[in-house]
Structure 1
Amino acid sequence: MKHWEAVEVFVAVVEQGSFSAAAQHLGMSKSHASRQLSRLENHLGVQLLTRSTRRLVLSEIGEAYFQRCKSILGQMQETEQAVMQQQASPQGNLRVTVAGAFGERYVAPAAAEFLKRYPAVNLQLDFNNRNIDLLEEGYDLAIRAGVLKDSSLIARRIAERRLLICGSRDYFDLYGVPNSVEDLREHSCLVGSLPTWRFRDSRGQHVELKVEGRWRSNNGHALLAAARRGLGLVQLPEFYVYEDLQAGRLQAVMQSYQPADTAVWAVYPHNRHLSAKVSAFVDFLAEQFRQVDYLS
């Protein structure tokens, strides 16, 4: 509002009883307060106050205007307090998009615990793998795993996503253990949703290799099942293969080639004033995942 400061000055002058007291209350000079009120009266084309050396008297129009302005200012203050309270304490609707097995196994249980901690939050958790315009489709944030593309969105790493190359002992007994990226060209690789595997070479650069094999699937659990049965090597996030590695069903190889640019990310629109519900949810997920060895 163009004359909002002048309205605040007018109400303060009436309530405080003088320009000096109003100026001190608002943290401005007396001369600035006087100019603001004069501009307001010129804008309205009426005299709101009658000034004398001894006191200020509201005109009839000024009295009606004061009552309306005081009511509006009160409503504005209540609205500001409500907004700040919402910013300080997580509450309201939280809409999150998440993808894949990581979302099912880790995000969903953590989200349920989050709601138990913050009963004033309502959560909608949508599972999908497609590219989403968060602002256009009304999402507060996305949880995504892998290598992020450049965008105007803010991304925070909330968990590690170490990619491991694994095979069964039966497979290694038959075909040997690969020691380099080039060695993989001689091996049967279980191909996932992408035709390439990602590596970090000896110079720290990230490279990709197109892999070939008899088994293809866009499902991590299907790839894992094939690897357990010795059908080939697989590259999967550690959370898929952790239990198999601990049980000795699979063996990890070429660990020095693990890429370092893949992780689990919380992605949200660029916003200087991140809402309390989003900030608390992201912090909560990060804290939950830090308690899991292979995610931290």
Structure 2
Amino acid sequence: MARWDGIDEFIAVGEEGSFTAAARILGLSVAHISRHVTALEQRLNTQLLTRTTRKVVLTKEGEIFLHQIKHLQHAMDDATQGLASHQTTPKGKIKLTAPVMFGETFIMPIVHNFMHDHPDVEVIANLSNEQEDLLEGGFDLAIRLGHLKDSSLKARRLSERRFIMCASPSYLRRFGEPHTLGELHNHQCLVGNSSYWRVNENEREKHIKIAGRLHCNSGWALVDGAKKGLGIVQLPDYYIDNELNSGELVPILTSYQPKQEGVWGVYPPRQFVATNVRVLLDYLVTGLKE
């Protein structure tokens, strides 16, 4: 029996905690998964999984083996992708994740164009505001916004975003326009996920506390509230570009605007980037500039 037999099946079961989920991910039958994992255990003379009627749990030996064998799986992927990098036509599966709103509005339309041009590519997209673990989740690509945390992941800058403070002309006529950060205490601020806004004062970035009578975790809802004169809002430019261009919203306190942040394509630290991922990154760089 080949030494690699059962390895992919075991990793999938160990990560998903289920033979059924592993079968779905690998596109194999549950019987196939179970048979190959059992054969692997027999070959190693070690029980890797504890099976019950309700769930599958890694044994201590299984946890150790899973951690070690994943490095070999990644090395195999690198070798395979090294060959794939010489392909001229993207093909195969890409599993990606992106924030919900940004993914729906900007990323997926570009992905759809990419898929239209490359019919041999399959995409599994998970739009979530949770920051997914790429290695644990088996993701080939993640779209991340803002400052990246230190990590072993690789990243390509795709675009930029700016945070802008703005209000409707009707609000400013009624309550006046603030010219210093201190004046915000006298105004209604529309509060999103955080009650702090990022600003740049004297070339130093800082956070200031804001307050108001509208709190909402939807950027689009805050845009609507600002347009209807409920208060001042700070949002990324892609939420409000149309309103700024039409004059429905007016930028304020522009000298305190924080510096641009990156929009990133982040991918696992493999030696080679598969052709399909590399070409999709090119599409995203071009598409996000349009």
Taking a change above 3 Å as real, the CA distance of residues 87 and 195 of structure 1, as seen in their structure-2 partners, is farther
The residue correspondences of 1:215-226 to structure 2 (distance < 5 A) are: 215-226=214-225
| Partner amino acid, structure 1, of 2:272 | H
CA contact (8 A) 2:195 2:210 kept: yes
CA contact (8 A) 2:200 2:258 kept: yes
CA contact (8 A) 1:162 1:263 kept: no
The residue correspondences of 1:87-102 to structure 2 (distance < 5 A) are: 87-89=86-88, 90-102=90-102
| Partner amino acid, structure 2, of 1:112 | H
Matched, 1:244 2:222: no
| Partner amino acid, structure 1, of 2:269 | H
Taking a change above 3 Å as real, the CA distance of residues 251 and 82 of structure 1, as seen in their structure-2 partners, is closer
Count of residues in correspondence between the two structures? 211
| Partner amino acid, structure 1, of 2:220 | H
CA contact (8 A) 1:96 1:124 kept: yes
Offset of 1:243 from its aligned partner?
1.3
Q: Distance in 2 between matches of 1:170 and 1:198?
A: 25
* Equivalent position of 1:230 in the other structure: 229
The residue correspondences of 1:4-43 to structure 2 (distance < 5 A) are: none
Offset of 1:123 from its aligned partner?
0.7
* Equivalent position of 1:276 in the other structure: 275
CA contact (8 A) 2:193 2:216 kept: yes
Taking a change above 3 Å as real, the CA distance of residues 81 and 185 of structure 1, as seen in their structure-2 partners, is closer
Q: Distance in 2 between matches of 1:272 and 1:82?
A: 9
TM-score scaled by structure 1? 0.67
Q: Distance in 1 between matches of 2:234 and 2:175?
A: 17
Taking a change above 3 Å as real, the CA distance of residues 168 and 159 of structure 1, as seen in their structure-2 partners, is same
Partner SS state of residue 229, structure 2 = coil
TM-score scaled by structure 2? 0.68
CA contact (8 A) 2:189 2:233 kept: yes
Taking a change above 3 Å as real, the CA distance of residues 207 and 83 of structure 1, as seen in their structure-2 partners, is closer
CA contact (8 A) 2:163 2:260 kept: no
Q: Distance in 2 between matches of 1:170 and 1:142?
A: 40
Q: Distance in 2 between matches of 1:81 and 1:207?
A: 46
Matched, 1:264 2:266: no
Taking a change above 3 Å as real, the CA distance of residues 251 and 153 of structure 1, as seen in their structure-2 partners, is same
The structure that has the greater radius of gyration is 1
The residue correspondences of 1:157-196 to structure 2 (distance < 5 A) are: 157-196=157-196
| Partner amino acid, structure 1, of 2:186 | E
Offset of 1:185 from its aligned partner?
2.1
Unaligned runs of 5+ in 1: 1-79, 292-296
CA contact (8 A) 1:92 1:120 kept: yes
CA contact (8 A) 2:196 2:208 kept: yes
CA contact (8 A) 1:147 1:261 kept: no
Q: Distance in 1 between matches of 2:81 and 2:229?
A: 60
Taking a change above 3 Å as real, the CA distance of residues 82 and 275 of structure 1, as seen in their structure-2 partners, is closer
Q: Distance in 1 between matches of 2:277 and 2:113?
A: 15
Matched, 1:127 2:144: no
Matched, 1:107 2:127: no
| Partner amino acid, structure 2, of 1:193 | N
| Partner amino acid, structure 1, of 2:208 | L
Q: Distance in 2 between matches of 1:155 and 1:176?
A: 43
* Equivalent position of 2:287 in the other structure: 288
Offset of 1:82 from its aligned partner?
9.1
Q: Distance in 1 between matches of 2:234 and 2:218?
A: 12
Q: Equivalent pairs: percent with the same residue?
A: 37
CA contact (8 A) 2:140 2:267 kept: yes
Task: Give the root-mean-square deviation of aligned CA atoms.
Answer: 1.9
* Equivalent position of 2:53 in the other structure: none
Cα deviations by residue, 1:76-121 (Å, 9 ceiling, x for unpaired): xxxx899624543322100010113221111111000001122221
* Equivalent position of 2:205 in the other structure: 206
